[in-house]
């Protein structure tokens, strides 16, 4: 089992037992970040040891203007992520990303130089890294560039983790609910639903269940904070019949009730399985009683 699959499995387990899944995401973020940090430090030792420059040009040469890393990685090393570049320039073209990475690096270098002459005067920071018998020391300016790159990477990992965890958990979560309650496989449609480009609106849903009479019920899953305004609105865009959520505000619940949508709240729920069975029973979807 991969680390990511382990996080997904633990997240589903937390949700099924009505517990908060967020600590699993935080653990995942920290593990990925620390793994990146260790690897980054190893690369720094090799780059600094093989460099002939005593200024920040070695960093620019080995971490930004190089074919050894992707444009996305080069941007991170320069203290900016590709998503931000895309939002600003409307493109993630490699040439644009590398150019912006260089511009940002030059800006950071000049800013650090100014700080050293003013606010940082008298301050000494030295990062000493040893790897395979080789030891290198980073000056104040080099240390700040490295710290900034690590901070940028942490932000990127955190943003990606929170935005993707819901999507990765949706189908396995419903698969688990159906398995526990004993919904027959012939009454489950968990295929990958693609957007219909011929339509003017999106009917993509997360899951479908089929009743004893062949009625198809569309299910939407959302893992979001309480009171998220887009939560209940998602059922309109996708014409959902069942809504499964981590948390829902009272207003969200009232909105769903008014639309005739069945919903299941997981967090803090002592009997989510029983409530899921109630929904199945009311919609005449077979399950093991």
pLDDT tens, 149-177? 999 999 999 988 887 777 788 899 999 99
What confidence score (pLDDT) does residue 202 get? 44
Q: Which of the 8 DSSP states describes residue 193? A: P
Q: How far is CA 20 from the centre of its chain?
A: 17
Rounded CA-CA distance 36/39 in Å is 5
Please determine, looking at this structure, whether the domain spanning 182-282 carries the CATH number 3.40.1350.
Answer: yes
- Provide the whole-model pTM: 0.75
Rounded CA-CA distance 136/119 in Å is 26
Segments of 103-253 assigned E as strands: 127-131, 134-138, 188-189, 207-210, 216-222, 242-245
Which residue ranges of the chain lie beneath pLDDT 70? Answer: 1-3, 119-121, 192-204, 224-238, 289
What confidence score (pLDDT) does residue 1 get? 47
Name beta bridge partners: 135: 130
Residue 105: other Cβ atoms inside 10 A: 25
Rounded CA-CA distance 112/79 in Å is 13
How many residues can be counted in the chain? 289
- pLDDT tens, 12-68? 999 999 898 888 889 889 999 999 999 999 999 999 998 877 788 999 999 999 998
The residues spanned by each domain of the chain are 3-162, 182-282
Rounded CA-CA distance 163/140 in Å is 35
């Amino acid at each position: 089992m991969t680390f990511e699959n382990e996080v997904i499995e633990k997240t589903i387990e937390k949700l099924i037992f009505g517990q908060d899944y967020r600590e699993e995401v935080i653990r995942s973020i920290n593990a990925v970040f620390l793994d990146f940090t260790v690897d980054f430090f190893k690369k720094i030792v090799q780059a600094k040891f093989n460099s002939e420059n005593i200024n920040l040009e070695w960093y620019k040469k080995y971490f930004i203007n190089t074919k050894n890393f992707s444009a996305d990685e080069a941007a991170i090393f320069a203290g900016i992520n590709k998503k931000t570049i895309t939002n600003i320039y409307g493109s993630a073209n490699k040439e644009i990303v590398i150019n912006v990475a260089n511009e940002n690096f030059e800006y950071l270098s000049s800013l650090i130089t100014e700080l050293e002459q003013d606010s940082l005067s008298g301050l000494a920071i030295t990062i000493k890294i040893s790897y395979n018998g080789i030891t290198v020391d980073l000056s104040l300016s080099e240390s700040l560039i490295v710290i900034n790159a690590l901070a940028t990477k942490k932000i990127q990992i955190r943003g990606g983790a929170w935005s993707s965890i819901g999507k990765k958990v949706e189908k396995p979560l419903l698969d688990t609910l159906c398995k526990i309650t004993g919904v027959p496989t012939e009454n489950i449609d968990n295929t990958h639903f693609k957007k219909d480009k011929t339509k003017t609106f999106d009917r993509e849903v997360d899951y479908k269940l089929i009743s004893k009479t062949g009625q198809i019920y569309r299910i939407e899953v959302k893992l979001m904070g309480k009171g998220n305004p887009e939560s209940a609105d998602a059922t309109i865009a996708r014409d959902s019949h069942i809504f499964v959520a981590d948390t829902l505000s009272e207003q969200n619940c009232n909105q769903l009730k008014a639309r005739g949508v069945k919903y299941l709240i997981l967090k803090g729920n002592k009997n989510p399985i029983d409530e899921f069975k109630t929904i199945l029973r009311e919609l005449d979807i077979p399950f093991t009683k």
